[in-house]
Amino acid sequence: MDSRLIVLLKRRRSCFGSKIKVLSPAKINLYLNITGKYPGGYHRIESIVERVSLFDRLTIELTKNQSIDISSNIISLNSKRNLCYKAASILKSKLSIPYGFKISLNKKIPIGSGLGGGSSNAASVILGILALLKLRLEEKELFEFGQDIGSDVNFFLSQARFARLSGRGELVEDLKIKKTYQHYIIWPGFGISTRDVYSSKRAKLTNIFNNANILQYALGKGLITLLKDNIYNALEERACLVSKDFIQARNLFFEKNISAFMTGSGSAFFTIDLKNYHDPESSLSRIKKIIPKKWSLFRVQTF
């Protein structure tokens, strides 16, 4: 599969030892609304997401044994609970792949940040293995694999720059927007549990607010003011209920009049500017001055 994600591909005649290096990008939610619930408690969502140039990096190698070995620069991710392992295991089982895999994950996307790192890792493992083995799947079959792993995985499998998600997040519509946006992603040094945010009982979420169509139009036309006015995340109030640290981080931006928006279920924030468009409210110098040194700041753009 041709992909901008593939950095290096080395195939050996014997197959074993063949290796691929794959980028695993982050995403930001420009719009996220809860429109209902499915039986069993899963939330029905509507979201507009953008793929951005903050990357984890994966190396996948074919091995003679049948095992799947995971290693990472983050010790807690050296586990079968890692979505990389789950993705490789599902693919190996359903396609009857007679090889093992050695997967190395260099993690840069903060964990528990709402940037989709785990889902992206799983998708990049699937795309990498398929490219390594010269296998091609129809989109429908590819998305069935993704749906079995996690809600955001299909967005990353689609390789869309911008997409509209629905269902539990597994239904993907490529918006085919050509504009490129630049952002600062600000991570306040702590994660928030997605499960805790979604299971919070005290915040009321409704489907009354729905400006997704306006936001999509603004994205396509590059209308910055209209775009900022319609960025929305229904989970933000729930994140405040779950984390006092998050409240303090959000209040810091409010106090300094910096337009920063939460992505996913938190804890990361992002600013939004058109490429080559300077917004003094969210300039690099202003952000650096106000955020604590332990926080992380990433300059990214649409990827």
Q: How confident is the model over 216-232, as pLDDT tens digits? A: 999 999 999 999 999 99
DSSP letter at 42 equals P
Better-predicted residue by pLDDT, 102 or 202 = 102
Query: pLDDT, tens digit, for every residue of 119-133?
Result: 999 999 999 999 999
**pLDDT 10s digits, 47-97:** 999 999 999 999 999 999 999 999 999 999 999 999 999 999 999 999 999
Task: Report the distance separating Cα 156 and Cα 209, nearest Å.
Answer: 26
Instruction: Say which residue the tokens 């995971």 belong to.
Output: 70
Length of the chain equals: 303
Closest C-alpha to 56, from 104, 8, 106, 21: 106
C-alpha distance from residue 103 to each of 19, 67, 73, 156, 268 (Å): 10, 11, 12, 18, 27
- What string of DSSP letters covers 75-90? GGGSSTTSHHHHHHHH
pLDDT score of 203: 47
Joined tokens for residue 87:
């993705």
Calculate the average pLDDT of the chain. Answer: 92
180: Cβ–Cβ under 8 A, 6 or more apart, which residues?
275, 301, 302
Percentage of the residues of the chain whose pLDDT score is greater than 70: 93
Residue 14: the pLDDT is: 83
Q: What is the pTM of this model?
A: 0.94
Q: Which domains does the chain have, with CATH numbers?
A: 6-174 (3.30.230.10), 181-301 (3.30.70.890)
Q: Above 60 in pLDDT, residue 246?
A: yes
Residue 303 tokens, joined? 């990827």
Whose tokens are 């996913």? That residue is 264
Return the percentage of the chain with pLDDT > 90, whole number.
Answer: 83
Paired tokens of 70: 């995971």
Active site residue ranges: 27, 152
Report how far apart, in Å, the C-alpha atoms of 153 and of each of 86, 113, 114, 117, 121 are. Answer: 12, 16, 13, 10, 9
- Residue type (1 letter), 160: A
- Is residue 164 helix, strand or coil? strand
| pLDDT for position 1 | 47
Does the structure show a pLDDT above 60 at 106? Answer: yes
User: Which of 144, 136, 72 is closest to 109 using CA atoms?
Assistant: 72
**Cα separation of 29 and 51, whole Å?**
9
> Are 287 and 271 within 8 A, CB to CB?
yes
Burial of 161 (0-12, 13-18, 19+ CB in 10 A): buried
Asked whether residue 281 carries a pLDDT value surpassing 80, the answer given is no
Radius of gyration of the chain (CA): 19
